[in-house]
Structure 1
Amino acid sequence: MWKAGFKWMFLIIGTMIGAGYASGREIWQFFGHESGLAIVLFSILFTYCIYLIMTISYRYQSTNYSTILEALLGDKIAKFYDILIFFYLISVTTIMIAGSGATFEVFKLSKWVGILFIAVIIVLLFIRGVQGVISLNTFILPLLITGLLTILVVFIKDEQLTFIWSLDHQSNWSSAFTFTALNILSILAVLGAVGDKIQSKKEILIASIGSGSILGLVTLLYNNSLIQISEIIILFEIPLFAILKNYPNYAYIVMSILLWFAIFTTAISSTLGIVTRLQSYVKLTLSKLAAILVILLIPLTNLGFSTLIAWLYPLYGFLNLYLLAAIILFPFYTKFSYNE
């Protein structure tokens, strides 16, 4: 029970901790000053949403995200979100593959080495199917979380930072909803693919409380550190490197590797959502679908995504808020039984 619960917990965290989160850019964009309450609310809200999504997935023994969408939104709206999620996952996977190329350039290697490397690893991983993705997350995520927490704790200790918190100044509390909404599409897509592998409600409880608590703690520590170096963050494309600016070069190397793993975990989670959905239409193995997918997406990594993202992400943000509201209100407008 505990082992299975941790397995799902790492899958959830692996989906959540992408390059944007691990680099600190996403955290600084949504939180920053006067956000302690927002982060606590996010942790609670995230736990609640994960519990509901996993419960629906378990109840219907789902193998892709369409089942969850139909339960939450009804058939007509679910069809719209089905298309939305599919293209969202496509864009995320493409950006992560391109991000792997950019990471390899840090080590003075061609971006194509990084792109081909992540593409090959994704295909090889899916030879073992969904279990391969779950097993890899169970191995990588403890390393990623430990590395990130170690850097934050060492930084806080070395700089003798104080913990900034005041209930009188918490004007940014609403960011809890937008931050949760930003990540809910990809998490729903991944959890919808593993419903038939969840064995008990206790696993769901462990996974939801564990993932919400860990992400809440890491976000709180990360944000508190960034607040206290806010005057220099503007000088860094990656806020995490502002934290590392006084550390030796090997710290940058280690963190660049960790950032690549964050990119990788997001890429495989997004690919999982795509190929499990495609498998309901095309009777091919997951590895073959993954191979076809990455071959088609590699040429797209040459395109400029900044304009596309600038247009799509506000749209996703608005539509995600509707989906988040549907998840939150689900127990109040359905006769769904949570005891079955």
Structure 2
Amino acid sequence: MNKQSWQIAAAYMSVVVGGGFASGQEVLQFFTGYGMASVIGTLVSAALFAFLGMQIARMSSNMQANSHKKVLYTLFGTRAGLVVDVVLSFFLFGVGVVMLAGSGSIFTQQYGWPPLVGSVFMTVLVVATLCLKVKGIIRLISIIMPVLLLLILAITTYSFFNSTASSETLNKVAQEIPTISSDWPISNWFFGAVLYASFNIAVGFPMLAVIGGMTRSEKTAASGGAMGGLGLGLLVFLLNIGLFANIDTLIGVEMPTLGLASNISPVLAIIMSATLICMIYSTAVGMFFAFSTRFATPGTNRFKALSAFFAIVGLGLSQLGFSTLIGTVYPMLGIIGLIMIVAIIWVWVRNRKQPIQAQAQTSS
């Protein structure tokens, strides 16, 4: 893989690995709650991440897309593509609301403060960033993200090797965890794995489509998308086994990774809470920025006013609770992602058939 491939892979991973992943609540509901079968589920998601990342990046490179809309309209047509794009935008607002709720959960779990305090704190940061262009903070967060990932991997690895509960006990406890599809007609580890990949593809699609269009080499773009997908799968796998090995200590915990850190050291928990807040902040700013640009040009007074308005509305909605919102918003976003996955597979199959048909016509 060349430098461009690594850049595409890193961008793909960075946009998907947000505050929800870092908290561990996503992985807990989509995977760990299914017990031992969740390990196979992470492999299914890894395969989907790699395949979908490869196809999206390749398509974008082929058409030299400078906007995700170009790829979206190719998949669905102009009218249906516009509908999907608008619906997707509103769900991205929903992800921003989840991040505000996540900040409240951190303040409650770590410091014992009311959730509203943490949510207000994050809302103020988001509004200040979008209105005042606090670029220095954004750069700082981009540096912190790799540190956070290493911290999470270290904590989960340590917790895995220090777990004393048997796999049978852990499997029974895991059944008490409400999974993402526990109230759906279909509820099993495979559906949870597919839904996890689909909602993350929906979130990461705009960025991946633009990044893929920056290279003229389809092979480079495809390898970057595939490598980024496998990297994401590995992170999910490691986090899942770390959570599963300690599931008996995480019942009712809003921030599982913070819970693991607290079990190791109070000082480590403080460091983890600070880095989680940074990660949630980064995701929240990205989501509210993307949503506000639908209605106004960035930097204008209208944009600033709408950004503040949307953030305040999000603050009100965030009081529904972090885990509740993840269990509601993310599966619904996953349905949009499933529709996108079907379209991507259809285009892939169609393009594979065309060369065969062309060869048959030539030989005749």
Partner of 1:176: 193
Give TM-score scaled by structure 2 length.
0.74
Partner of 1:148: 152
SS of corresponding position for 1:143: helix
The answer to whether 1:296 aligns with 2:304 is no
The answer to whether 1:92 aligns with 2:95 is yes
Correspondent of 1:187 among 180, 204, 207 = 204
Partner of 1:39: 42
Give TM-score scaled by structure 1 length.
0.79
Which has the larger displacement, 38-47 or 236-245?
Answer: 236-245
The one-letter code matched in structure 1 to 2:28 is W
Map residues 248-327 of structure 1 onto 2, 5 A cutoff. 248-271=265-288, 273-274=290-291, 278=294, 284-285=297-298, 291-305=304-318, 306=320, 309=325, 313-327=330-344
8 Å CA contact 2:42, 2:233 repeated in 1: yes
Residue 122 to residue 253, structure 1, CA distance change in 2 (3 Å): farther
SS of corresponding position for 1:236: coil
Shift of 1:70: 0.9
Shift of 1:260: 1.8
SS of corresponding position for 2:253: coil
Shift of 1:18: 2.3
CA distance in 1, matches of 2:81, 2:332: 17
SS of corresponding position for 1:48: helix
Shift of 1:272: 5.9
Residue 312 to residue 176, structure 1, CA distance change in 2 (3 Å): closer
Shift of 1:144: 2.3
Query: For residues 91-121 of structure 1, what are the alpha-carbon distances to aligned partners after superposition, in whole Å with 9 as ceiling and x for unaligned?
Result: 2224334544664675667654432223333
The answer to whether 1:11 aligns with 2:11 is yes
SS of corresponding position for 1:62: coil
The one-letter code matched in structure 2 to 1:13 is M
Residue 286 to residue 330, structure 1, CA distance change in 2 (3 Å): farther
The one-letter code matched in structure 2 to 1:155 is S
CA distance in 1, matches of 2:353, 2:12: 23
The answer to whether 1:58 aligns with 2:61 is yes
Give the superposed CA RMSD. Answer: 3.7
CA distance in 1, matches of 2:287, 2:130: 11
Query: For residues 212-245 of structure 1, what are the alpha-carbon distances to aligned partners after superposition, in whole Å with 9 as ceiling and x for unaligned?
Result: 2222222212211222222332142222234234
Partner of 2:226: 209
8 Å CA contact 2:54, 2:225 repeated in 1: yes
CA distance in 1, matches of 2:131, 2:354: 38
Map residues 89-168 of structure 1 onto 2, 5 A cutoff. 89-97=92-100, 99-100=102-103, 103=106, 111-122=119-130, 139-159=143-163
The one-letter code matched in structure 2 to 1:147 is L
Q: Which runs of 5+ in 2 are unaligned?
A: 169-187, 356-364
Residue 195 to residue 213, structure 1, CA distance change in 2 (3 Å): closer
Structure ID, larger Rg? 2
CA distance in 2, matches of 1:230, 1:116: 34
SS of corresponding position for 1:221: helix
Identity, % of aligned pairs?
Answer: 22
SS of corresponding position for 1:173: helix
Query: For residues 40-61 of structure 1, what are the alpha-carbon distances to aligned partners after superposition, in whole Å with 9 as ceiling and x for unaligned?
Result: 1211111110111112222233
Partner of 1:168: none
SS of corresponding position for 2:264: coil
Shift of 1:84: 0.5
Partner of 2:81: 78
Shift of 1:88: 1.1
Query: For residues 5-27 of structure 1, what are the alpha-carbon distances to aligned partners after superposition, in whole Å with 9 as ceiling and x for unaligned?
Result: 33332322222122222121111
CA distance in 2, matches of 1:3, 1:289: 39
8 Å CA contact 1:57, 1:192 repeated in 2: yes
8 Å CA contact 1:14, 1:269 repeated in 2: no
8 Å CA contact 1:8, 1:207 repeated in 2: yes
The answer to whether 1:24 aligns with 2:28 is no
The one-letter code matched in structure 2 to 1:300 is V
Query: For residues 20-41 of structure 1, what are the alpha-carbon distances to aligned partners after superposition, in whole Å with 9 as ceiling and x for unaligned?
Result: 2212111111112112222112
CA distance in 1, matches of 2:86, 2:42: 31
Correspondent of 1:222 among 219, 229, 239 = 239
